[in-house]
Structure 1
Amino acid sequence: MKNELSALNKLVGKYLRRDYRDHRRYIIEKHLGSSGSLKRANNELRLYKTWIEGLRMSDEEAPQCLLEEDLNVAEIQPIQETEIIREIKRLKPNKSPGPDGIANEALKIACTILTTPLTILFNKILDTSITPKEWSESNIILLYKKGDPKDVSNYRPISLLPTLYKLFSSIIEKRISPTLDSFQPIEQAGFRRGYSTVDHIHTVELLMEKYQEHQSVH
């Protein structure tokens, strides 16, 4: 049943991507044929919605919708051994391994031996877009928080993922983070390097103070 569901999920995803690609092509060709405007096609295909209807933004401030053609302009570069060595060095010790049973310490010790075969494996995954099925498995354990130890609600479940999967994911994350961050609006301060929601809170507090001063004067 698990294999059948996996195969069905891949098939559904394949047809969804195909239908969405055909839909995008139709919208773009429709607007290019009628008005020659790619911007109108972009507006129709946008996946976001203005926070408050009626607000207007300048063209420089408006977020741009990425077209599939834009994403494919730059060819995906093969993973280099230096990337793998860098991420292996960043692995933290004393972490519980996942189903693969590979500890971070083992990767660090065998780094020079494993770098080349891991490079071959990771690049094969990039070429085929297929990950090992073992990477979809995890070990779920319960961490005690507080209260009655016999009450299951006082435990927090966490998933221990395969170590090699986390290593591969960290490399991909380092590659795509700059691009994803560049399309974030400046108003998005949470969970971003170099930004803080404290700045926004401070700004709101200043606005409230100015408003109160203005009201007291009048």
Structure 2
Amino acid sequence: MFLAPKDPREISRLIESLKCKNSSEHDGIISLLSKDIKLDISFPLTILINKSVKVGIIHDLLKTTNAIPIYTAKDKEQFNNYRPFSLVTTIPKLIDKN
């Protein structure tokens, strides 16, 4: 598998393509805030993402998600009536988008 290096313009476009959500992730970065400061953060994020891809290591904090239970149907007391929903942080979303 080969991932091409990103450039700051591409990172800016990827940030702009993220869904606007007001919920804060466990890293404290809100996608709406990321969009507002995309020009300021695109260059440092490009360095971080390209380095992670090049060495094949992604920091453990970027691999962490918050899983929340989402009610699906029937009895709310039954564990099987919930499905997990994972909140993934902004930076891994940018790494995954190609």
Bin of the TM-score, shorter chain as denominator length: 0.7 to 0.9
Return structure 1 stretches of 4+ with deviation > 6 angstroms: none
Identity of aligned residues (%): 34
**How big is each residue's C-alpha offset from its partner over 1:175-206, in whole Å with a ceiling of 9 and x where there is no partner?**
xxxxxxxxxxxxxxxxxxxxxxxxxxxxxxxx
Deviation at 1:138, TM superposition (A): 1.2
- Residue 179 of structure 1: aligned partner: none
Long gaps (5+) in structure 1: 1-70, 175-218
Q: 1:97 to 1:167 in 2, by over 3 A?
A: farther
Which letter does structure 2 place at the counterpart of 1:155? Y
Give the helix-richer structure, 1 or 2.
1
Deviation at 1:97, TM superposition (A): 4.3
Q: Between Structure 1 and Structure 2, whose CA radius of gyration is higher?
A: 1
**Aligned residue runs from structure 1 range 26-65, under 5 A:** none
Deviation at 1:130, TM superposition (A): 1.0
Provide the TM-score with structure 2 as the length reference: 0.86
**How big is each residue's C-alpha offset from its partner over 1:114-169, in whole Å with a ceiling of 9 and x where there is no partner?**
01110111111122111111122111100111211222211111111222111111
- Residue 145 of structure 1: aligned partner: 72
Deviation at 1:96, TM superposition (A): 3.7
Give me the whole-angstrom Cα distance separating, in 1, the residues matched to 2:65 and 2:25: 6
Which letter does structure 2 place at the counterpart of 1:167? L
Using CA pairs below 8 Å that are at least 6 residues apart, which structure has the higher relative contact order? Answer: 2
Selected match of 2:45 from 118, 143, 154: 118
Which letter does structure 1 place at the counterpart of 2:83? R
Selected match of 1:130 from 57, 61, 65: 57
What's the secondary structure of 1:164's corresponding residue? helix
Give me the whole-angstrom Cα distance separating, in 2, the residues matched to 1:154 and 1:77: 41
Give me the whole-angstrom Cα distance separating, in 2, the residues matched to 1:126 and 1:99: 22
Q: 1:148 to 1:85 in 2, by over 3 A?
A: same
Aligned length: 98
**How big is each residue's C-alpha offset from its partner over 1:37-81, in whole Å with a ceiling of 9 and x where there is no partner?**
xxxxxxxxxxxxxxxxxxxxxxxxxxxxxxxxxx78xxx643111
Which letter does structure 1 place at the counterpart of 2:59? P
Which letter does structure 1 place at the counterpart of 2:28? G
Give the strand-richer structure, 1 or 2.
2
What's the secondary structure of 2:68's corresponding residue? strand
What's the secondary structure of 1:112's corresponding residue? helix
- Given that 1:93 and 1:105 are in contact with CA atoms closer than 8 Å, whether structure 2 keeps it comes out as yes
Deviation at 1:95, TM superposition (A): 5.9
